[in-house]
């Protein structure tokens, strides 16, 4: 069977609105009523029209199942982004049997938002282990690992910090310059 | 569970130390004035920090004055004069201390709990006064304490669940400090992890004792080996400290920044020092 996207003349990455617009444009172009009087043209138009309808239905069905049962995580991600953690967690709990990296990652994110750091660490670790090639999971896990090793953001007492070393370095440079300047005055 | 939020004195400037003590004295006087002498004796340094946090958020002038008190009858100590700014902190201290008493009573046996029961009887009046002033906060704390009792009786095995009540109490207290909503949320988050830290630090300290006496301790539910349990607590404390620092960077602090820096980055971190070592001047980071 031919690619439904090809029939509508759009790319698979097109938005729902673009799909609808393409469908409307083509169905106006090939509408059998416009070809009335010419029986051959009418037949072709009818055939084309049924192809367009089938392609449109197929795309729409595909997209609907992706967002409901095929990949429920798009919706959950949206909930997390808008701060709706309770609903996101309920939806995740509904998919408990799922052990994919994505599930673990999202569960970890919900836990982190609630301050449940021990669980967040465990879930992130699992996500990173299940899918080592995913950069998002790795970044989240690394961040948690840094936290666990005692990193504190903005710690002014952190002497091992490279930033402070630079500051020290600059201070030394300034001191040298001032001393040199004093010497110049003496001479 | 008290006494974990404190400054690290060796790294404190003398003026900062005086301010810290001034807050403690002011709080003590406020308690004496509003809630009776008993609560003054049960005041811990943790609440001085809450007081400083309350005042760090605005820039109303504060007056400190050398004053006498019962503990220092001969030398005058610098004491915060505007004690009314500490009204909320004092009420929070009263409610927490009272709830802690109730907690101790339910933890100990009938005979051993008699002194606690007597204390509670004496403390009741002050507690009622605090409830009247801040009914929302009091009922929230009461609710969370009940939740903690329930979790303990159910022998809760999740670290995150076990920390939740203490964390929620601190979150409630800290969230009350700023008035605008956005900052209040940041303060709540800060308080949540501060509470989480306190609970874990307490569990860490009590691990050996609880193992011997077979008491409830969430860490021992993960591992009966004391070192594994402590490592787990350490990891979790580090994560919470990191979150505290993250929230702290978003808080719009107007003054006492050096003092709060000291408490957060040094004071909290030195929780695991044994009691004897605490007096030493050696820095362990």
**Is pLDDT of A65 > 60?**
no
- Binary contact (A115, B192; C-beta < 8 A): yes
Task: Say if residues B209 and B215 touch (Cβ distance below 8 Å).
Answer: yes
Rounded alpha-carbon distances, angstroms, from residue B158 to A85, B151, B219:
20, 10, 9
- Binary contact (A150, B11; C-beta < 8 A): no
Helix (H) or strand (E) holding B108, with range, is none
Domain harbouring A53, CATH code: 1.10.287.110
Q: How confident is the model at residue A162 (pLDDT cuts 50, 70, 90)?
A: very low
Same domain flag for A41 and A88: no
Name residue B80's beta-bridge partners: B64
B131-153 pLDDT tens trace: 999 999 999 999 999 999 999 99
What count of Cα atoms within 13 Å lies in the side-chain half-sphere of residue B239?
Answer: 24
Contacts of B4 (CB under 8 A, 6+ apart): B46, B197, B198, B201, B202, B268, B271
**Is pLDDT of A161 > 50?**
no
Same domain flag for A79 and A142: yes
| Nearest residue in B to A144, CA atom | B239
In this prediction, residue A63 carries a pLDDT of 67
- A-B interface: how many C-beta pairs under 8 angstroms? 65
Same domain flag for A12 and A29: yes
In this prediction, residue B60 carries a pLDDT of 87
Contacts of B19 (CB under 8 A, 6+ apart): B52, B64, B78, B256, B259
Q: How many domains does chain A have?
A: 2
Contacts of B269 (CB under 8 A, 6+ apart): A150, B8, B241, B285
Task: Say if residues B67 and B77 touch (Cβ distance below 8 Å).
Answer: yes
Dihedral through CA B167, CA B171, CA B173, CA B177, nearest 10? Answer: 160
Q: Which of A111, A121, A150 to mutate to test the interface with B (most CBs of B within 10 A)?
A: A150
- Spans of all domains in chain B: 9-267
Which of A23-32, B96-105, B218-227 is least confident?
Answer: A23-32
In this prediction, residue B53 carries a pLDDT of 94
What is the percent of chain A where pLDDT is above 70? 75
In this prediction, residue B29 carries a pLDDT of 92
**Is pLDDT of A167 > 60?**
no
CA–centroid distance for A126 within its chain: 19
Same domain flag for A81 and A133: yes
B168-217 pLDDT tens trace: 999 999 999 998 899 999 999 999 999 999 999 999 999 999 999 888 99
Mean pLDDT for chain B overall: 90
CATH architecture of the domain formed by B9-267? Orthogonal Bundle (1.10)
Question: Which runs of consecutive H residues, i.e. helices, occur in A149-187?
Answer: 162-186
In this prediction, residue A66 carries a pLDDT of 53
Domain harbouring A138, CATH code: 1.25.40.10
In this prediction, residue A1 carries a pLDDT of 52
Separation of alpha carbons B260 and A179, rounded Å: 36
Contacts of A154 in chain B (CB under 8 A): 245, 248-249
What is the percent of chain B where pLDDT is above 90? 70
Separation of alpha carbons B39 and B43, rounded Å: 6
Domain boundary among A45, A68, A91: A68
In this prediction, residue B113 carries a pLDDT of 87
- B73 to chain A, closest Cα gap in Å: 37
C-beta neighbour count of A94 within 10 angstroms: 11
In this prediction, residue A67 carries a pLDDT of 53
Task: Say if residues B31 and B94 touch (Cβ distance below 8 Å).
Answer: yes
- A159 to chain B, closest Cα gap in Å: 10
A26-55 pLDDT tens trace: 888 887 777 666 778 888 888 888 888 888
B10-42 pLDDT tens trace: 899 999 999 999 999 999 999 999 998 999 988
Separation of alpha carbons B231 and B223, rounded Å: 10
Give this complex's ipTM: 0.87
Contacts of A147 in chain B (CB under 8 A): 238-239, 242-243
Separation of alpha carbons A93 and A110, rounded Å: 11
Same domain flag for A38 and A95: no
Range of the domain at A143: 72-148
Which carries the bigger pLDDT value, residue B207 or residue B275?
B207
- Binary contact (A155, B159; C-beta < 8 A): no
Q: B223 at the A interface (CB within 8 A)?
A: no
Separation of alpha carbons B253 and B279, rounded Å: 30
Same domain flag for A11 and A48: yes
In this prediction, residue B200 carries a pLDDT of 95
Separation of alpha carbons A155 and B244, rounded Å: 11
In this prediction, residue B21 carries a pLDDT of 92
- B257 to chain A, closest Cα gap in Å: 11
């Amino acid at each position: 069977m031919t690619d439904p996207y090809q029939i509508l003349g759009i790319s698979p990455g097109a938005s729902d609105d673009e799909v609808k617009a393409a469908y409307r444009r083509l169905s106006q172009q090939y509408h059998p009523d416009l070809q009335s009087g010419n029986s051959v043209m009418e037949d072709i138009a009818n055939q084309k029209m049924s192809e367009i309808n089938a392609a449109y239905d197929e795309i729409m069905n595909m997209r609907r199942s992706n967002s409901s049962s095929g990949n429920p995580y798009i919706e959950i991600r949206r909930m997390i982004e808008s701060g709706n953690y309770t609903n996101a967690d309920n939806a995740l709990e509904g998919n408990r049997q799922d052990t994919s990296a994505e599930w673990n990652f999202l569960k970890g994110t919900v836990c982190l938002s609630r301050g449940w750091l021990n669980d967040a660490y465990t879930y992130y670790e699992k996500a990173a282990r299940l899918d080592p090639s995913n950069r998002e999971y790795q970044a989240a896990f690394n961040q948690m690992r840094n936290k666990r090793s005692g990193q504190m953001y903005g710690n002014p007492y952190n002497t091992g910090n490279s930033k402070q070393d630079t500051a020290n370095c600059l201070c030394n440079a300034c001191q040298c310059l001032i001393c040199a300047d004093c010497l110049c005055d003496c001479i | 569970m008290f006494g974990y939020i404190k400054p690290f004195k060796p790294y404190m400037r003398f003026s900062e130390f005086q301010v810290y003590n001034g807050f403690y004295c002011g709080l003590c006087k406020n308690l004496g004035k509003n809630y009776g002498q008993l609560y003054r004796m049960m005041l811990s340094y943790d609440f001085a920090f809450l007081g400083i946090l309350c005042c760090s958020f605005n820039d109303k002038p504060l007056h400190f004055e050398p004053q006498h008190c019962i503990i220092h009858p001969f030398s005058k100590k610098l004491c915060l004069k505007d004690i009314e700014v500490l009204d909320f902190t004092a009420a929070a201290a009263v409610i927490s201390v009272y709830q802690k008493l109730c907690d101790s009573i339910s933890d100990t046996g009938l005979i051993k709990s008699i002194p606690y029961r007597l204390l509670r009887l004496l403390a009741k009046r002050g507690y009622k006064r605090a409830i009247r002033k801040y009914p929302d906060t009091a009922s929230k704390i009461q609710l969370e304490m009940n939740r903690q009792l329930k979790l303990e009786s159910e022998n809760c095995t999740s670290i995150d669940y076990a920390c939740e009540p203490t964390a929620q109490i601190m979150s409630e207290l800290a969230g009350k400090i700023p008035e605008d909503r956005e900052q209040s949320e940041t303060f709540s988050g800060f308080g949540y992890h501060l509470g989480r830290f306190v609970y874990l630090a307490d569990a860490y300290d009590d691990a050996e004792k609880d193992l011997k006496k077979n008491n409830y301790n969430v860490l021992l539910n993960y591992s009966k080996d004391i070192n594994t349990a402590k490592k787990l607590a350490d990891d979790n404390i580090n994560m919470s400290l990191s979150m505290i620092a993250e929230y702290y960077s978003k808080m719009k602090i107007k003054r006492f920044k050096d003092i709060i820096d000291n408490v957060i980055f040094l004071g909290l971190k030195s929780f695991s020092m044994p009691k004897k070592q605490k007096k030493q001047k050696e820095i362990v980071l």
